[in-house]
């Protein structure tokens, strides 16, 4: 199997980007953003995941339907997260004495 | 003539087959065997409830009976019932394909079901499980009963469902006969497609949830334990994110079967084909937004309850579209009341009651009153048995001549239907009244004023059992001794009837070319 040069270069830069983002994850974890802690952690993880999907798993080069299918699954994960979170947050508001 | 039944012989030609029709029959044997097991548990439950007080089983064993009845009927019977059994047989035939897209994966999904069921049932020898099929935390974490094998079994069976769904989606996209555009596909195919979307999207969430439960029991990770910062209600969110859409894994394919039956036995084109297609897809999508209606009194916030209550009512819209279209299809048709059509009518009648009471339960303030009473039990049996089981039986009778090349005995088929239909209503209608009067569900005992209606209900369960004995006995007899069937005994229009009965090994001697609409 031959690896052509340009794809090797892209993969290498993606790898470097991932490593940098990992370092950022560790650095960000040192700072306390309060309620936004999870938000920043998920944001960075999301970017990393997207890079892996697009380049290492070839979604970027493949037919659009695969990206669509993937997008739909992510959307339903969001639905699960959204309504569970809706319950938890409104539960806190409801029972909060402040 | 050589057909798929006699082209190869011996046990191994069945256990290692990759022919979708043979795999469908493997599913048939599995599903109906478990149906008998789950039905036996149900009969014991009803027998215990015949009289006030402890009669045949103690309450600990009763809790196990009700758990296994639920788990077996849901994971091993209704979920694989229509997609994996009828769908496997009919789908490739209806789209003019030789087989499904991944025949080996298809066989693998049958093995997943069998292995998962086996793992689940080993718990019977480890002291059983008593959590109910929903495995709610915190009880499922604390109970000393064999939760882990049951949960792992359900996890493995989930893969069967995912693989079948995946296989069907790819098959429908890739293997349609030349000329068969998406909107020329039969409605049963569309319903399997909608079902497959749910199977692929929702089942992994169940898998994650069940693994978390195991992790919670074994490693004490604390996701669901408030003492460790977890939330027991989160389990219910995860669980119902799968299990509400799973209701549509059970009901959507039944609706597809009903569309085929009503069309064939009214001898008319289906009324509103596209509306029925979009209703199927609509139900599949909406089903993901309503799960909180199982949790109104769980401690979920009132806001979430209100949101879920409103969203749940949306389900009524596509469902009503379907029912009106079926009635419009029958209107001025020349109806032929053969057994499959009787099951279709049974479906309409029972599912309507199940659906309307479902709507009542969607209304938050009403549900608060009847939550965890027999009203809920009656409601979901009207949906699951009145919907899915009517669909399985109707479809089985309808495609029976295609599967085995033989005709069943019409009189006995109708007798079986009558017993099941009457028995079903005698069993479950009194439970609506019991529930409104406040009899709680899942208890091994009840107060004396509830006794009379409980006795009626138990007698009904015997009628259902008798009905299934009649139905299965004569179907089994017809498999081997029935009169030979022609290729198209019903005069139906879809592609599977153009192949011989039973079909040859690769379904069609020459690939069919589609030029007409599905029911023209
Ligand atoms: Cu539900």
- With an 8 Å Cβ cutoff, is A75 touching chain B? no
Nearest neighbour of A87 by CB, restricted to B201, B288, B300:
B300
Residue B379, pLDDT score: 96
Q: How far is CA B104 from CA B20, B48, B255, B516, in A?
A: 10, 45, 28, 32
Peptide bond into B204 cis (omega under 30): no
Instruction: State yes or no: pLDDT of A2 exceeds 60.
Output: no
Alpha helices by DSSP H, B82-182: 88-94, 103-122, 139-142, 147-174
What residues of A are in contact with residue B201 (Cβ under 8 Å)? 72-73, 76
* 3-class SS of residue B484: strand
Q: How far is A81 from chain B (nearest CA, A)?
A: 10
**HEC profile for A58-80?**
CCCCCCHHHHHHHHHHHHHHHHH
* Residue B364, CA atoms < 13 Å, CB-side half-sphere: 18
How far apart (Å, rounded) are the C-alpha atoms in residues B95 and B186?
Answer: 8
Tens digits of residue pLDDT in B267-289:
988 999 999 999 999 999 999 99
Q: Which residue has the higher pLDDT, A34 or B468?
A: B468
What residues of A are in contact with residue B238 (Cβ under 8 Å)? 80, 84
Domains in chain B with CATH codes: 17-498 (1.20.210.10)
pLDDT above 90 coverage of chain B, percent: 84
Number of helical H runs and strand E runs in chain B: 19, 0
Residue A17, pLDDT score: 93
What residues of B are in contact with residue A93 (Cβ under 8 Å)? 301, 303
The dihedrals phi and psi of B440, each to the nearest 5 degrees, come to -70, 150
Tens digits of residue pLDDT in B393-420:
999 999 999 999 999 999 999 999 999 9
How far apart (Å, rounded) are the C-alpha atoms in residues B479 and B361?
Answer: 42
Tens digits of residue pLDDT in B376-398:
999 999 999 999 999 999 999 99
Instruction: State yes or no: pLDDT of A29 exceeds 90.
Output: no
Phi-psi region of B434 (alpha: psi -120 to 50; beta: other; left: phi over 0): alpha
Instruction: State yes or no: pLDDT of B516 exceeds 80.
Output: yes
Q: What kind and span of H or E run contains B296? A: none
The verdict on a CB contact (< 8 Å) between B289 and A91 is no
Tens digits of residue pLDDT in B3-13:
898 888 889 99
Count the Cβ atoms, other than its own, within 10 Å of residue A20: 10
Residue A1, pLDDT score: 44
The verdict on a CB contact (< 8 Å) between A90 and B291 is no
How far apart (Å, rounded) are the C-alpha atoms in residues B364 and B110?
Answer: 40
- With an 8 Å Cβ cutoff, is A78 touching chain B? no
Q: Are B320 and B295 in contact (CB under 8 A)?
A: no
Average pLDDT over residues B22-26: 96
Q: Domain coordinates of chain A in residue numbers?
A: 1-60, 62-91
A4: pLDDT confidence band, cut at 50, 70 and 90?
low
Here the ipTM equals 0.85
What residues of A are in contact with residue B302 (Cβ under 8 Å)? 90, 94
B138: pLDDT confidence band, cut at 50, 70 and 90?
confident
- A76: CA distance to ligand 1 center in Å? 17
Q: How far is B255 from chain A (nearest CA, A)?
A: 24
How far apart (Å, rounded) are the C-alpha atoms in residues B32 and B29?
Answer: 5
Q: Which of B166, B206, B208, B237 should we substitute to test contact with A (largest number of A Cβ atoms within 10 Å)?
A: B237
Tens digits of residue pLDDT in B255-271:
999 999 999 999 988 99
Residue matched to tokens 């402890």: B54
Q: pTM for the complete prediction?
A: 0.92
Q: Which two tokens stand for residue B418?
A: 């009558």
The distance in angstroms from the start CA to the end CA of chain B is: 30
Nearest to B109, CA basis, from B142, B79, B135: B79
Q: Which two tokens stand for residue B212?
A: 């978390």
- B294: CA distance to ligand 1 center in Å? 6
Residue A98, pLDDT score: 59
Interface residues of chain B, partner chain A, Cβ below 8 Å: 201-202, 205, 231, 233-234, 237-238, 241, 288-289, 291-292, 299-304, 307-308
Mean pLDDT of chain B: 93
CA closest to A88 among chain B residues: B301
């Amino acid at each position: 199997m031959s690896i052509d040069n340009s794809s090797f270069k892209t993969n290498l830069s993606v790898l470097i980007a991932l490593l940098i983002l990992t370092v950022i994850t560790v650095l960000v974890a040192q700072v306390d953003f309060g309620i936004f802690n999870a938000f920043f952690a998920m944001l960075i993880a999301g970017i990393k995941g997207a890079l892996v999907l697009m380049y290492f798993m070839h979604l970027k080069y493949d037919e659009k339907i695969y990206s669509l299918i993937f997008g739909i699954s992510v959307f339903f994960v969001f639905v699960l997260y959204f309504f569970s979170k809706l319950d938890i947050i409104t539960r806190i508001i409801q029972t909060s004495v402040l | 003539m050589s057909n798929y039944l006699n082209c190869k012989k011996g046990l191994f030609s069945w256990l290692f087959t990759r022919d979708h029709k043979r795999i469908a029959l493997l599913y048939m044997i599995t599903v109906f065997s478990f149906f008998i097991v789950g039905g036996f548990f149900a009969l014991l439950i009803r027998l215990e409830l015949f009289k006030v007080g402890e009669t045949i089983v103690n309450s600990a064993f009763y809790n196990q009976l009700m758990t296994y009845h639920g788990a077996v009927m849901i994971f091993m019977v209704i979920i694989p019932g229509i997609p994996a059994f009828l769908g496997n047989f009919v789908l490739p035939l209806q789209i003019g394909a030789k087989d499904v897209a991944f025949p080996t994966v298809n066989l693998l999904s049958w093995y997943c079901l069998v292995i998962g069921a086996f793992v689940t049932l080993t718990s019977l020898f480890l002291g059983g499980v008593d959590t109910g099929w929903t495995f709610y935390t915190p009880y499922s974490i604390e109970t000393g009963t064999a939760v882990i094998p049951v949960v792992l079994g359900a996890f493995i069976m989930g893969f069967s469902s995912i693989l079948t769904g995946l296989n069907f989606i790819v098959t429908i996209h890739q293997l349609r006969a030349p000329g068969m555009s998406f909107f020329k596909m039969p409605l049963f195919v569309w319903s399997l497609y909608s079902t497959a979307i749910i199977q692929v999207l929702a089942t992994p969430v169940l898998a994650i949830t069940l693994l978390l439960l195991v992790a919670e029991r074994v490693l004490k990770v604390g996701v669901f334990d408030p003492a460790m910062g977890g939330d027991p209600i989160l389990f219910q969110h995860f669980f119902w994110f799968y299990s509400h859409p799973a209701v549509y894994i059970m009901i959507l394919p039944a609706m597809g079967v009903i569309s085929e039956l009503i069309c064939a036995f009214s001898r008319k084109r289906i009324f509103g084909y596209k509306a029925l297609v979009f209703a199927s897809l609509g139900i599949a999508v909406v089903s993901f937004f309503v799960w909180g209606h199982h949790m109104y009194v769980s401690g979920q916030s009132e806001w979430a309850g209100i949101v879920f209550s409103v969203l749940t009512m949306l389900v009524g819209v596509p469902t009503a579209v379907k029912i009106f279209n079926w009635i419009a299809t029958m209107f001025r048709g020349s109806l032929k009341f053969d057994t499959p059509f009787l099951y279709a009518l049974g479906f309409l009648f029972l599912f309507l009651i199940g659906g309307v009471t479902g709507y009542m339960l969607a209304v938050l303030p009403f549900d608060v009153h009847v939550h965890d009473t027999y009203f809920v039990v009656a409601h979901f049996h009207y949906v699951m048995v009145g919907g899915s089981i009517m669909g399985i039986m109707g479809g089985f009778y309808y495609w029976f001549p295609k599967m085995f090349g033989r005709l069943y005995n019409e009189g006995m088929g109708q007798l079986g239907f009558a017993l099941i239909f009457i028995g079903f209503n005698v069993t479950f209608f009194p439970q609506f009244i019991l529930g409104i009067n406040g009899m709680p569900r899942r208890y091994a005992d009840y107060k004396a004023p509830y006794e009379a209606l409980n006795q009626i209900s138990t007698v009904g369960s015997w009628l259902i059992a008798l009905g299934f004995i009649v139905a299965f006995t004569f179907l089994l007899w017809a498999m081997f001794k029935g009169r030979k069937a022609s290729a198209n005994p019903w005069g139906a229009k879809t592609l599977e009837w153009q192949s011989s009965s039973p079909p040859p090994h690769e379904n069609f001697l020459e690939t069919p070319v589609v030029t007409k609409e599905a029911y023209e």
